[in-house]
């Protein structure tokens, strides 16, 4: 009788360790996916920029100024839980050169710049969000 209880106890412990191990391995996989998403963006819309304040420290788009060579791409990633856009020009005077439309959380937007110049952009939902692409 005592032998049976010990054996059952050992089997139970093995099952519990197995469950614990499978839980911890899925957590690691999820973290790796998140890191890959962060690396793919050249410019990030960080969390909490849907409220004013980020413009005071120039961190509504990070970096708010990006310098690239002619013909290269820029990828923006929305890492906030709110919608944002990448729209050419200024809030009062959009230039209609490019417009991402509303980007969902973790959605990205990529543009190729074939002409040199300074391209200002903003977010149609949050007028304080401003950025600039400089193409050399």
109 contact partners, CB below 8 Å, separation of at least 6:
75, 76, 86, 100, 103
Are the beta carbons of 117 and 69 closer than 8 angstroms? no
- Region 83-102 residues binding Cu ion, contact defined as CB under 5 A: 84
Give whichever of 100 and 135 is closer to Cu ion, judged by the CB atom: 100
Give whichever of 10 and 90 is closer to Cu ion, judged by the CB atom: 90
Q: Does 130 bind Cu ion (CB under 5 A)?
A: no
What is the secondary structure of 25-36 as a DSSP string? HHHHHHHHHHHH
Are the beta carbons of 133 and 68 closer than 8 angstroms? yes
Give whichever of 80 and 119 is closer to Cu ion, judged by the CB atom: 80
The only residue of 61, 103, 108, 126 in contact with Cu ion, by rule CB under 5 A? 126
Footprint of Cu ion (CB under 5 A): 84, 123, 125-126, 129
């Amino acid at each position: 009788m005592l032998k049976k209880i010990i054996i059952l106890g050992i089997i139970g412990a093995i099952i519990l360790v197995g469950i614990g191990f499978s839980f911890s391995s899925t957590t690691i996989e999820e973290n790796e996916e998140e890191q890959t998403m962060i690396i793919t963006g050249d410019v990030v819309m960080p969390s909490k920029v849907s409220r004013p304040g980020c413009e005071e420290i120039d961190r509504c788009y990070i970096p708010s100024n990006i310098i690239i060579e002619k013909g290269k791409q820029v990828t923006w990633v929305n890492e906030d839980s709110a919608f944002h856009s990448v729209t050419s020009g200024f809030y009062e005077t959009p230039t209609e050169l490019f417009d991402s439309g509303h980007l969902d959380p973790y959605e990205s937007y990529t543009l190729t710049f074939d002409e040199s110049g300074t391209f200002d952009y903003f977010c149609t939902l949050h007028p304080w969000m401003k950025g600039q692409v400089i193409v050399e």
